Structure 1
Amino acid sequence: MPDWSYQTLFRPLLFRLPSRAARGLTLNAMRRISRLPGGTLLIKTLGHMEPPPLLQGRIAGIPVPTPVGLSGIVDPQGTAHRAISQFGFGFIEIGPVTLHPIASPEPILNDWRQERIVYPCEYENEGLPRMKRMIKNPSHPLPQFVRIAPMPGSSSEQVTAELKSLLHSLTSETVAGFYLDFLSCERDQEANLNLLEQVIAMTRQRHPYLNGKPLFLHVPLDYPESWLEQAIARTDSTIWSGYVIGNSLRESRGVEVSRRGKELILSKIKLLRAAISKDSVIKASAAVHEPQDALDMLQAGADNVLLNSGLVFSGPGFPKRVNEAIIYDKIRSSPLPEQPSFWKHWGWMCLLGIGMIVGGMIAWLIAASSVVLPYDEDFLEMTREELQQINQHLLHFMSHDRITLAGTMISIGILYYQLAKNGLRFGLHWARTALMTSGVVGFPSFFLYLGYGFFDPFHAAAAAVLFPMFLLAMRRNPDQPFRKPVNLRNSRQWRLAMWGQLCFVALGIALSVGGVVIASVGVTHVFVPQDLAFMGVSREQLELANPRLIPLIAHDRAGFGGALFSDAVMLLILALWGLQQGERWLWWTLLAGGAPAFIAGLSVHYHIDYTDFLHLLPAYVAVALYVAGLILLYPYLMRKANI
C-alpha cells in the first residue's frame, strides 16, 4: 500500500470506517501480503524503501539501519510488523506493556481534517503473557525497544514492583532495550521525584540481570518542564541511556496523538539536550507528520524520531521520505563527487538511446512507404506488388505493426538517453535498475520470431551493435545518494502528484501486461479476431496464399510486444521509484518518451482506417492515463522542492 495508492484510493475508504475496524483491516491485509510467497519482495518492489547504508547508526551501542522508528501505538499487537519493517524503519517500539490486559470499549476518534487521533486509553494492550509471546517471536529483523508501564492507578510501591516484574519477564535476546513509562502529571512533583529515585534504585539492583539492555526514561509529552528540570538535577540519572519523549496529550476523552504537540516536544528536546550528556540518546515520539517535522526535531537535538499518527495520515511511504530528507540534510554541505567521464558507463547508454531513436525513425519511414524490405521479399519470394494482390489491406496491416514498433523504439531510445544522462551519470540506483531491467527483457525479445523460422538481418545487426553498448553502460557504477533538495511537505502539489504517480504506475502495469500479451499472441495465434476482420480474410487464406506470410507477420508482432514490454517496465520503475519534487527533466522525459509511441500507434490506425473501438480501447485508456498523469505531476515536478 504505497503512498500513490494509499493517498488516492485506500485512505478515503478507510477513513469512512470506524477507526478500530480500519486499523484491523489495514494491518491484517499487510500481514497477509507479507506472508505470501514473495510478499515481502512485492512490498520492497512497490516502495523501494530499504534505507541506504549512509543512514546506519547506533542507539546506545545497538546497530540500527536508520534513525526512524515505528511507535508502538501504530500496531500494538504486532500484526503487520513483518510488512511494516520493509517500509524503511530502523527500529520498532513495542508497547506499552502492562502486567494485565487493558481494554476499552470506547471508539478511537480519527479527526482526519485536523490530523489528530484520540485514543480512549493510552495504555491499552493485551497484557504481559500475550505481549511476551509476540516480543520473543518477532516476525522481523529490526531491534525492538519495549515500553513498559505500571497499571493505571498503582501506588508508588506497586509501580516499582510491577516494573521490576516486567523487566524480569521480558529480558531476552529479542529485546534491544526498555522504555520505563511511570512519570505522571497527576502526581505532585515531590511524589514523582520520590518514585523516580525508587525506580532508579530498583533498576540498579536489576541491572546486572538485564544483560546490558539499555534503559530509557519515558517522559510524557505534556509533563511540566519545571518538573523535568528538577528530576534531572535532583536524581542520579546515569542509569538511563537516554530519554523518550511521549506522543500524546491528555484531553477529556482520552489522549490525543497529533501534530499539535510539536512546539512542546521541540522545547523538551532542547531542554534535555542542554541538561544531559552528549552521549545520552533523545527519542522524539510526537508530532512528526511531514519530513520537515523530523528534521526540525533532529536539528533541535533529538537522535531518533518515532512515527505514529503521521504514518496514518501521510502513508506507508512516509519513513522513506523522512530517510531521504535526513540523507539530504547530512550531505548537502559535503563536496560533490567527481563526475564520471562520458565513456565510463553512462555515455554508452546515451549512444544506445540515440541508436534506438535513429533506428526507430528509419523503421518508421520504411513502414510508412515501401513497408517491406528487400530481404522480406526474398523470404516471401514475392514482390510488394504481389503482396498487394493477395489482399488490399495486407500491406496496411503490416505497416500498422511496423509503425507502432518504430514509435516504441523511439520512446525506448528517449528514455534510455534521459535516464543515462540524468540518472546513471549521477549513480542513481533506480535509474540503473530501470535501464538494466529494460535491457535484460528487451534484447532477448529481438529473437522471439526465430521460432517461426524467419531471421531478420536488420534486427540482428542492430542487436549486435547495440548490445555491447548496453554491457559497457552496465559496468561497475556504485550507487550515490540523491543530492538535490527533496520534498519536505505534504503540500497540495504532493497530493496531486500521488494521483499522477498512480496514473503512471497503472500505465506502466497496463503496458507491461499488453506487451506480454502481444508478444504471446505474436508467437502463437499471431492474429486477434479484429485483425482478420479488418483485412476481410481468414488465417487459412493467408497461409494458402503464401505459407511464409504468417511467420513474417509474427515476427513484427512478437518484436512489437517485446519492445513494448521493455519500454513499459522502464516506465514502471521510473514511476514507482524515480519521482522527486523539482526534477523537471523527469516531466519532460515522460512527455517526450510517451509521445512517439502514442502518436505512432493511434495515427497509423486512423490512417489505414483500422478504427475498431474494442481494438483501440486499451490505447484510449492508456492515452487518458498518460495525459492525466502529466497534468497532475506538472506542479510537483516543475516546481522546486521545499515550497
Structure 2
Amino acid sequence: MPDWSYQTIFRPILFRLPARISRAFTLGAMGAIGRIPGGSFVIRTLGHMELSPLLERNIGGVDVVAPVGLSGGVDPCGIAHRALAQFGIGWIEHGPITLAPIESNEPIMNDYRSERIRYPSYFENDGADAIAKRIQRPGHKLPQFVRIAPMPEVSPEEALEQLRSLMRKLEASGAEGFYLDIASSAVRSWHDVLAIYSQLPELAERWQITVPLFLYVPLDMNDERMLELLGRAEFNLWSGIVIGESSRVGDDPSDIAVMTEAAARIALQKQSPVTGDYAVEVGRDGLKLAETKIRLIRQACGPDIAVKAGAGVHQPEDALQLLEAGANGIMLHSGLIYAGPGLPKRMNEAVIYEQASLAQAPEFPSFWRNWGWMCLLGIGMIIGGLLAWQIGATSVLLPYDTAFLGMTAAEIVGANRYLLYFMSHDRITLAGTMLSIGILYYGLARYGLRAGQHWARTALVTSASVGFSSFFLYLGYGYFDPLHALAAAVLLPLFLLSLRGHKDLPSRLPVNLRNSRTWRMAMWGQLCFVILGFALAAGGVIIAGVGITHVFVKTDLDYLCATPEALNAINPKLVSLIAHDRAGFGGALLCDALAILIIALWGISQGARWLWWTLLLGGAPGFYAGFSVHIRIGYTDFIHLLPAYIALILYIAGLILLYPYMMGAADSKSTG
C-alpha cells in the first residue's frame, strides 16, 4: 500500500469506516501480505524501501539501520510487524505493556481534518505473556524495544515488582531495550513516582538487566517535573530518553480538542500524573511540545544522551525539525496513518539529502565509464525506430522479406488488399515503441545512471534485459530476421559496457518535505503511471504470446476479411512473417512498459524536471505511431483501440497531475 495507492484509493475509504475496523482491516491485510512467500519482497518492490548505509547509527547503545522507528500504538497487536518492517524503519516498539492484559472496546476517534486520533484507553494491550511470544517470533530482524508500565492503581512496591517481572520475561524473549513508562502510569502520587525512580538503579543491578534502559517522558509532563527527573542521581541509569507521542484528553471524553495544556494543568492541580486508566490523543499538535522538550533535555543533559521523539511528525519537514532540535531518532505514530506508508522513506530521503548536501559533491563518471554507453544504446534505438518507421510507411517489406516469401508486395496486395496495410501497422507501432524506448534510455542514462541513482540503473537493466531476450521471440515461428539480429549484435555490447563499475550514490537533488496539495496531486499522477506501466506490461506479454501462438485476434481477421487458412493459402510462409512482427512488437512493448513502471514506482520525485520531460517525450512517439497508423489504414475498430484509448488517458492525466510537483521548485525547509 504505497502512498500513490494509499492517498488516492485506500485512505478515503478507510477514513469512512469506524477507526477500530479500519485499523483491523489495514493491519490484517498488510499482515497477510507479509506472511505469504515473497510478500516482503512485493512490499519492498512497490515502495522501493531499500536503506542507505548513510542512515545507520547507534542510538542509546543499539545499532539501527535508520533513524526512524515505529511506535507501539500503530500496531498494538503486532499483526503487521513483518510487513511494517519493510517500510524503511530502523526499530519497532511494543507498548505500553503491562503485566496483565488490559482491554477496551470503546471506539477510537479519528479526527482526520485536524489529523488527531483519540484512544479511549492508554494502557490497552495484550499483556506480557502475549508480547513475549510475539518478540520471540517477530518475522523480521529489526531491534525490538518494549515500553513497559505498572498496572493502574498500584503501590510503588507493586510497581517495582511488576517492572522486574516484565523486564525479566521480555528480555529473555529477545527485547533489546526497555522504555520505562512510570510517569504516565496510574501510580498514586508524584511522590510515589519519585520513590520508584530512586530505587531503580539498585534494583536494576540486582535484577541483572543487560539491555539499555530508556526514561520515558510523557509528552504532556510538566517541564519542571521533567527537569526534576533529569537532575536526580539515578539519571546515570538511562541510556537515553524517549519523549512520548500522546497527551491525556480532558475530563470530558467527548471533547477531542481538550489536550496538552489541560493535561499538564490537571496534573499539577492533582499533584499526581494520572489517576486510573485514561484516554489519550496523538496528532500533529504534539510537534511543538516535543521540540520544546528536546531542547530542554539538551540544555540540561548535553549532547551525549540519546533522545527519541516523534509526536506530531506527519511530514519529513517535521522529522528534520525534531532532529535539528537534538533528537537522535524519530518515533512514528499518527503521521504514518495520515501521510501514508511512504512517510519513513520520505523521511529517510530527507535525512540522506541533509547529509549528502554537507559532503563534497562527487565527480560524475566519464562518458565512457558506463552511462555513456547506455546513452549510445538509446540513440541507437532512436535511429533504428526512425528507420523502421520509414520502411513501414513506404515499402513495408525489405528484400529479405520478399525473398523469404517468394512474393512481391504487389502480389501480396493482389491476393488481399489489406495485408500490406496490416503489416505496415505492425511495423510502425513497433517503430514508435522503439523510439519511446530509445528516449527513455537516453534520459535515464544521462540524468539517472550518471548520477549513480540505483532506481535508474534497475530500470535500465531490467528493461534492456527483457528487450534483448525478446529479439528472439520470432524464432518460435521459424523466421530469422537478419536486420533484427544485426541490431542486437550492435546494441548488445553497448548494454554490456554500460554495466561496468557502477556505484550507487545518494541523490543530491532536494526532496519533498511537505504533505502539500501539490504532493497529493502527484500521488494521483503517480498512480496513473503505475497503472499505465502494469497495463502496458500486460499488453506486451499478451501481444507477444499471441504473436508466437494464434498470431491474430478476431478484430485482426475482421479487418483482413480473411481466415488463417485463407492466408496460408495465399502463402504458407506469410503467417510466420506476420507472427515475427507481432512477437517483436509485444517484446518491445514489454521492454518499454518495464522502464515506465519502474520509473513510476521508484523515480517520481519533486523537482525532477528531466524525468517529466523524459516521460513526455518518451511516450509521445509510441502513442502517435499507434493512433496515426490505425487511422491511416482504416483499422479503427473501437474494441481493438480501446486499450490504447485508456492508456492515452492515463498518460495525459499522469503528466498533468505530476507537472506542478515535478516541474516546480523542490521544497525548502521552513525557517519559521
Find the aligned partners of 1:553 and 1:489 in 2 and give their Cα distance.
52
Find the aligned partners of 1:507 and 1:224 in 2 and give their Cα distance.
54
Find the aligned partners of 1:34 and 1:89 in 2 and give their Cα distance.
15
Cα deviation 1:260-283 (Å, max 9, x = unaligned): 011111011011112224332100
- Residue 396 (structure 2) aligns with: 371
Find the aligned partners of 2:193 and 2:76 in 1 and give their Cα distance.
27
> What TM-score results when the alignment is normalised by the length of structure 2?
0.94
Spell out the pairing of 1:84-483 with structure 2 (5 A cutoff).
84-172=84-172, 174-184=174-184, 189-206=190-207, 209-210=208-209, 212-252=210-250, 253=253, 254-483=279-508
* Per-residue deviation, 1:518: 0.1
- Residue 65 (structure 2) aligns with: 65
* Per-residue deviation, 1:537: 0.8
One-letter code aligned to 1:245: I
- Residue 588 (structure 1) aligns with: 613
SS of 2:63's equivalent in the other structure is strand
Cα deviation 1:229-287 (Å, max 9, x = unaligned): 11222332111001000010111332110010111110110111122243321000311
Find the aligned partners of 2:241 and 2:26 in 1 and give their Cα distance.
31
Find the aligned partners of 2:180 and 2:429 in 1 and give their Cα distance.
66
One-letter code aligned to 1:35: R
* Per-residue deviation, 1:194: 2.7
* Per-residue deviation, 1:227: 0.9
Find the aligned partners of 1:137 and 1:564 in 2 and give their Cα distance.
44
- Residue 43 (structure 2) aligns with: 43
**Cα RMSD between the aligned structures?**
1.2
Tell me if the contact between 2:309 and 2:322 (Cα under 8 Å) persists in the aligned partners: yes
Spell out the pairing of 1:521-536 with structure 2 (5 A cutoff).
521-536=546-561
- Please point out which of 580, 588, 592 is paired with 1:563: 588
- Residue 575 (structure 2) aligns with: 550
Find the aligned partners of 1:308 and 1:234 in 2 and give their Cα distance.
30
- Relative to structure 2, which stretch is displaced further, 258-267 or 56-65? 56-65
Matched, 1:502 2:500: no
Find the aligned partners of 1:590 and 1:415 in 2 and give their Cα distance.
7
* Per-residue deviation, 1:133: 1.1
* Per-residue deviation, 1:304: 0.3
Tell me if the contact between 1:189 and 1:227 (Cα under 8 Å) persists in the aligned partners: no
Find the aligned partners of 1:592 and 1:471 in 2 and give their Cα distance.
26
> What TM-score results when the alignment is normalised by the length of structure 1?
0.98
Tell me if the contact between 2:152 and 2:185 (Cα under 8 Å) persists in the aligned partners: no
Find the aligned partners of 1:173 and 1:475 in 2 and give their Cα distance.
46
Tell me if the contact between 1:132 and 1:170 (Cα under 8 Å) persists in the aligned partners: yes
Matched, 1:641 2:666: yes
One-letter code aligned to 1:113: R
Find the aligned partners of 2:613 and 2:448 in 1 and give their Cα distance.
14
Tell me if the contact between 2:544 and 2:586 (Cα under 8 Å) persists in the aligned partners: yes
SS of 1:178's equivalent in the other structure is strand
Spell out the pairing of 1:477-492 with structure 2 (5 A cutoff).
477-492=502-517
Unaligned residue ranges in structure 1 (runs of 5+): none
* Per-residue deviation, 1:502: 0.3
Cα deviation 1:442-473 (Å, max 9, x = unaligned): 00111111122211111111110000000001
Find the aligned partners of 2:348 and 2:387 in 1 and give their Cα distance.
46
Length, aligned pairs only:
640
Find the aligned partners of 1:231 and 1:457 in 2 and give their Cα distance.
81
Find the aligned partners of 2:569 and 2:131 in 1 and give their Cα distance.
74
- Relative to structure 2, which stretch is displaced further, 399-408 or 49-58? 49-58
Cα deviation 1:74-132 (Å, max 9, x = unaligned): 00111011111000010000111101111112100011111010000111001112122
- Residue 538 (structure 1) aligns with: 563
Provide closer, same or farther for how the CA distance between residues 60 and 75 of structure 1 changes in structure 2, counting only shifts above 3 A: same
Find the aligned partners of 2:376 and 2:24 in 1 and give their Cα distance.
52
SS of 2:121's equivalent in the other structure is coil
Find the aligned partners of 1:419 and 1:357 in 2 and give their Cα distance.
14
* Per-residue deviation, 1:508: 0.1
Cα deviation 1:565-590 (Å, max 9, x = unaligned): 00000100000000110011111111
SS of 2:69's equivalent in the other structure is strand
Tell me if the contact between 1:380 and 1:549 (Cα under 8 Å) persists in the aligned partners: yes
Find the aligned partners of 2:152 and 2:51 in 1 and give their Cα distance.
38
Find the aligned partners of 1:549 and 1:249 in 2 and give their Cα distance.
76
Find the aligned partners of 2:288 and 2:529 in 1 and give their Cα distance.
39
Find the aligned partners of 1:34 and 1:132 in 2 and give their Cα distance.
20
Provide closer, same or farther for how the CA distance between residues 372 and 494 of structure 1 changes in structure 2, counting only shifts above 3 A: same
Find the aligned partners of 2:226 and 2:469 in 1 and give their Cα distance.
67
SS of 1:426's equivalent in the other structure is coil
SS of 2:172's equivalent in the other structure is coil
Find the aligned partners of 2:153 and 2:521 in 1 and give their Cα distance.
48
- Residue 75 (structure 2) aligns with: 75
Tell me if the contact between 1:138 and 1:174 (Cα under 8 Å) persists in the aligned partners: no
Tell me if the contact between 2:61 and 2:239 (Cα under 8 Å) persists in the aligned partners: no
Unaligned residue ranges in structure 2 (runs of 5+): 254-278
SS of 1:236's equivalent in the other structure is helix
Find the aligned partners of 2:365 and 2:140 in 1 and give their Cα distance.
39
- Relative to structure 2, which stretch is displaced further, 169-178 or 533-542? 169-178
Find the aligned partners of 1:295 and 1:188 in 2 and give their Cα distance.
36
Find the aligned partners of 2:140 and 2:201 in 1 and give their Cα distance.
32
Cα deviation 1:508-555 (Å, max 9, x = unaligned): 000000000000000000000100100101110110110010000001
* Per-residue deviation, 1:190: 4.1
- Residue 258 (structure 2) aligns with: none
* Per-residue deviation, 1:501: 0.3
SS of 2:605's equivalent in the other structure is coil
* Per-residue deviation, 1:189: 4.6
Tell me if the contact between 1:204 and 1:239 (Cα under 8 Å) persists in the aligned partners: no
Matched, 1:605 2:603: no
Find the aligned partners of 2:476 and 2:120 in 1 and give their Cα distance.
67
* Per-residue deviation, 1:506: 0.1
One-letter code aligned to 1:543: N
Tell me if the contact between 1:184 and 1:192 (Cα under 8 Å) persists in the aligned partners: no
Provide closer, same or farther for how the CA distance between residues 85 and 116 of structure 1 changes in structure 2, counting only shifts above 3 A: same
Find the aligned partners of 2:666 and 2:247 in 1 and give their Cα distance.
32
Find the aligned partners of 1:292 and 1:567 in 2 and give their Cα distance.
36
Find the aligned partners of 1:520 and 1:562 in 2 and give their Cα distance.
9
SS of 1:582's equivalent in the other structure is coil
- Residue 9 (structure 1) aligns with: 9
One-letter code aligned to 2:146: V
SS of 1:376's equivalent in the other structure is helix
One-letter code aligned to 1:248: S
Percent pairwise identity: 59
